[in-house]
């Protein structure tokens, strides 16, 4: 039977494995579990690093949305101008 001290470390190990295989959602969930379970400071820093590296880049998504909107406006202008000539 495992001791309760090894459970957070095991969750952190599984989080690293999930991140390596590309499963970001599971990696974030497992890193949060490891932090909530009270890992040692070195492991907690590693879990926080996993969470920081896999955070959503909100400014990048906003720039992408603006670019998509500009593209749609250009298509709309092209369609409207082609119908009147």
- CA–CA separation, 42 vs 34, rounded Å? 12
Q: What is the pTM of this model?
A: 0.63
Tens of pLDDT, residue by residue over 18-33, are: 989 999 999 999 999 9
Pick the CATH number of 1-54 from 3.30.1380, 1.20.58, 3.40.1000, 1.10.1760: 1.20.58
Q: Could you tell me which residues come within 8 angstroms of residue 31 by beta carbon, excluding any fewer than 6 positions away?
A: 11, 12, 15, 47, 48, 50, 51
| pLDDT value of position 66 | 98
Q: What is the pLDDT of residues 4-63, one digit of tens each?
A: 567 878 888 999 999 899 999 999 999 999 888 887 888 889 899 999 999 888 999 999
Task: Parse the chain into domains and list their residue ranges.
Answer: 1-54, 57-85
């Amino acid at each position: 039977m495992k001791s309760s001290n090894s459970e957070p470390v095991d969750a952190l190990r599984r989080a690293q494995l999930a991140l390596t295989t590309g499963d970001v959602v599971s990696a974030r969930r497992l890193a949060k579990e490891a932090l909530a379970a009270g890992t040692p400071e070195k492991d907690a820093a590693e879990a926080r690093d996993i969470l920081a590296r896999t955070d959503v880049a909100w400014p990048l998504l906003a720039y992408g949305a603006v670019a998509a909107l500009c593209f749609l406006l250009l298509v709309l202008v092209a369609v409207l101008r082609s119908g009147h000539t």
